[in-house]
């Protein structure tokens, strides 16, 4: 079999060079990783060195002491090698970038990384390749820092938690950590990619269902703005010359065309828009109040509850399948839910699970989980097929939540169309009634 020369990291400061005999380059990478090392470079050994190569023959060990090296810009000189050093400000906490990476970009990254890992490409090389190809600036900065941390000897999951906790949620990091511990990171990443793609597809269906009502509202508001800003003021000049009384709709429209009324109307609209933006965009206590308010809305609250139940069951099934204990899986699942009542129930469930109670019994006693959920979980626990039962609940409530959204939009569409038709009809009537009644013209 051929020989391969390699360089690998052993901890944050130790670089090991050596030779290893393997069937091919992928097999050499696997053998190096089995030694607990992080491969940096693997290449065919020079022909003159092949005779002296054994199964594994380390030839030199270099220890880099970055703390005493002489700095030259962002590089540090260590002997004859230049090693790029990440500034201390970037070695912990949040990166100095705003906003969050979109779920779609995280999904694409996960799918690419899973493909590289399936092809036996070393993790560090895969991260560097994906970083070069990424067009999203935020994700690129995160991956650069994660790759630098992995190059320094840190675990991938620890690097994600350190630099990407704003973009990779707790379930993602827990799954990666489980894959690293079990030596199945490639299959874990593939499972994560499938899960994220399913969530993104569901979000796309929701956006598609809401697109038409939003378009109707925007077109209606634009039409009203045009009429009140451009048409009514010009017609008011003509109507002010009238003798006698004008029709009531026309008088109301003329009053709205006055500057004071326009300032009050559009000022109120802007204040309402700012309040809505603050209400729906807040976090912390604002988010809790918002979720409690939305949960009380008859149809919308039911849809959101079903969506959260589907997300809970799908996430829990994925975590349990990959070897994460159920109490830890519930703790990981809680932050991805929006319903505060469900979060509190799951916090109680976590403590009771540690006391030895069955999940089905705990869920059955919660007023927020439908009986179908507890029955399916009970069947899964009794038959030893809890993951399959949770996935069935996930599929059922995903369909139910999507059906509820379609029903909600089918109710909203005619309501908005009727409201806008009444407003626009009133404006048109106010303009045409004086024209039909020509007695007021001199």
Task: Kindly state whether residue 185 falls inside one of the protein's structural domains.
Answer: no
Query: Does pLDDT of 98 surpass 70?
Result: no
Asked whether residue 277 falls in the same domain as residue 383, the answer is yes
Asked whether residue 34 falls in the same domain as residue 158, the answer is no
Q: Which of 152, 168, 184 is the last residue of a domain?
A: 168
What total of structural domains would you count in the chain? 3
Domain, as residue range, for 125: 88-168
Task: Kindly state whether residue 76 falls inside one of the protein's structural domains.
Answer: yes
Span 102-150, pLDDT tens digits: 888 888 898 899 888 888 888 888 898 999 888 888 888 989 999 888 8
Burial 272-300 (b: 16+ CB within 10 A, else e): eeeeeeeeeeeeeeeeeebbeebbeeeee
At 372, is the pLDDT very low, low, confident or very high (cuts 50, 70, 90)?
Answer: very high
Between CA 419 and CA 228 the distance in angstroms is 17
What pTM, to 2 d.p., does this model score? 0.60
Asked whether residue 94 falls in the same domain as residue 221, the answer is no
Task: Kindly state whether residue 184 falls inside one of the protein's structural domains.
Answer: no
Asked whether residue 97 falls in the same domain as residue 65, the answer is no
Asked whether residue 155 falls in the same domain as residue 221, the answer is no
Task: Kindly state whether residue 15 falls inside one of the protein's structural domains.
Answer: yes
Task: Kindly state whether residue 187 falls inside one of the protein's structural domains.
Answer: no
Q: Which of 25, 55, 84 is the last residue of a domain?
A: 84
Highest mean pLDDT among 139-153, 167-181, 230-244, 297-311: 139-153
Task: Kindly state whether residue 174 falls inside one of the protein's structural domains.
Answer: no
At 244, is the pLDDT very low, low, confident or very high (cuts 50, 70, 90)?
Answer: low
Residue 286's pLDDT is: 63
Task: Kindly state whether residue 163 falls inside one of the protein's structural domains.
Answer: yes
Query: Does pLDDT of 64 surpass 60?
Result: no
Asked whether residue 215 falls in the same domain as residue 325, the answer is yes
Residue 392's pLDDT is: 92
Span 165-194, pLDDT tens digits: 778 887 788 888 877 776 778 888 888 888
Query: Does pLDDT of 56 surpass 60?
Result: no
Asked whether residue 204 falls in the same domain as residue 274, the answer is yes
The pLDDT of 239-268, averaged and rounded, is: 73
Asked whether residue 135 falls in the same domain as residue 157, the answer is yes
Interacting residues of 212 by C-beta distance below 8 A, sequence separation 6+: 409, 413
CATH number of the domain that residue 161 is part of: 1.20.81.30
Q: Which of 116, 151, 168 is the last residue of a domain?
A: 168
Asked whether residue 208 falls in the same domain as residue 245, the answer is yes
Asked whether residue 230 falls in the same domain as residue 116, the answer is no
**In this structure, what are the phi and psi dihedrals at residue 75, rounded to the nearest 5 degrees?**
-110, 150
Residue 285's pLDDT is: 63
Point out the least confidently predicted range of 21-25, 146-150, 244-248: 244-248
**In this structure, what are the phi and psi dihedrals at residue 247, rounded to the nearest 5 degrees?**
-60, 150
CA proximity to 329, closest of 386, 385, 383, 401: 386
Residue 437's pLDDT is: 66
Query: Does pLDDT of 85 surpass 60?
Result: no
Task: Kindly state whether residue 121 falls inside one of the protein's structural domains.
Answer: yes
Residue 242's pLDDT is: 57
Span 378-413, pLDDT tens digits: 999 888 899 999 999 999 998 888 888 888 878 877
The pLDDT of 285-301, averaged and rounded, is: 71
Residue 218's pLDDT is: 82
Asked whether residue 163 falls in the same domain as residue 307, the answer is no
Q: Comparing 153 with 280, which gets the higher pLDDT?
A: 153
pLDDT > 70 fraction of the chain, expressed in percent and rounded = 79
**In this structure, what are the phi and psi dihedrals at residue 152, rounded to the nearest 5 degrees?**
-85, 0
At 60, is the pLDDT very low, low, confident or very high (cuts 50, 70, 90)?
Answer: very low
At 95, is the pLDDT very low, low, confident or very high (cuts 50, 70, 90)?
Answer: very low
At 376, is the pLDDT very low, low, confident or very high (cuts 50, 70, 90)?
Answer: very high
Q: Comparing 250 with 243, which gets the higher pLDDT?
A: 250
**In this structure, what are the phi and psi dihedrals at residue 441, rounded to the nearest 5 degrees?**
-85, 135
CA angle, corner 340, sides to 194 and 298, nearest 5? 95
Asked whether residue 124 falls in the same domain as residue 217, the answer is no
Between CA 228 and CA 180 the distance in angstroms is 63
């Amino acid at each position: 079999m051929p020989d391969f020369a390699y360089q690998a990291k052993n901890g944050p400061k130790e670089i090991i060079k050596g030779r290893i005999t393997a069937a091919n380059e992928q097999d050499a990478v696997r053998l190096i990783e089995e030694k607990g090392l992080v491969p940096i470079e693997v290449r065919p050994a020079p022909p003159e060195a092949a005779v002296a190569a054994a199964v594994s023959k380390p030839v030199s060990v270099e220890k880099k002491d970055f703390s005493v090296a002489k700095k030259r810009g962002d590089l540090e000189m260590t002997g004859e090698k230049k090693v790029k050093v990440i500034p201390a400000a970037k070695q912990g906490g949040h990166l100095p970038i705003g906003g969050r990476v979109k779920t779609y970009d995280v999904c694409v990254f996960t799918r690419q990384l899973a493909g590289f890992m399936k092809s036996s490409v070393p993790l560090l090389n895969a991260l560097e390749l994906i970083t070069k190809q990424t067009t999203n600036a935020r994700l690129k900065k995160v991956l650069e820092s994660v790759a630098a941390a992995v190059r320094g000897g840190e675990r991938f999951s620890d690097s994600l938690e350190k630099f990407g906790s704003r973009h990779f949620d707790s379930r993602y990091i827990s799954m990666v950590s489980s894959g690293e511990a079990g030596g199945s990171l490639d299959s874990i990443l593939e499972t994560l990619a499938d899960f994220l793609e399913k969530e993104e597809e569901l979000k796309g269906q929701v956006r598609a269902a809401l697109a038409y009502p939003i378009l109707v509202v925007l077109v209606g508001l634009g039409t009203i703005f045009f009429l009140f800003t451009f048409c009514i003021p010009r017609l008011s000049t003509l109507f002010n010359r009238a003798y006698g009384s004008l029709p009531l709709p026309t008088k109301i429209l003329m009053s709205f065309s006055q500057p004071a009324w326009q300032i009050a109307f559009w000022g109120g609209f802007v204040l309402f828009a700012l309040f809505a933006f603050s209400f729906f965009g807040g976090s912390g206590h604002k988010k809790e109040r918002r979720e409690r308010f939305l949960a009380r809305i008859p149809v919308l609250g039911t849809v959101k509850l079903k969506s959260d139940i589907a997300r809970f069951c799908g996430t829990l099934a994925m975590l349990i399948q990959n070897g994460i204990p159920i109490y830890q899986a519930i703790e990981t699942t809680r932050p991805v839910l929006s319903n505060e009542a469900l979060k509190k129930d799951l916090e109680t469930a976590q403590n009771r699970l540690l006391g030895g109670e069955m999940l089905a019994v705990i869920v059955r006693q919660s007023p927020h989980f439908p009986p179908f959920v507890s029955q399916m979980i009970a069947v899964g626990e009794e038959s030893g097929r809890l993951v399959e039962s949770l996935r069935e609940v996930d599929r059922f409530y995903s369909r139910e939540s999507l059906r509820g959204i379609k029903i909600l939009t089918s109710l909203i569409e005619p309501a908005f169309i009727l409201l806008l038709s009444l407003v626009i009809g009133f404006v048109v009537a106010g303009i045409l009634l004086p024209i039909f009644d020509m007695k007021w013209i001199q």
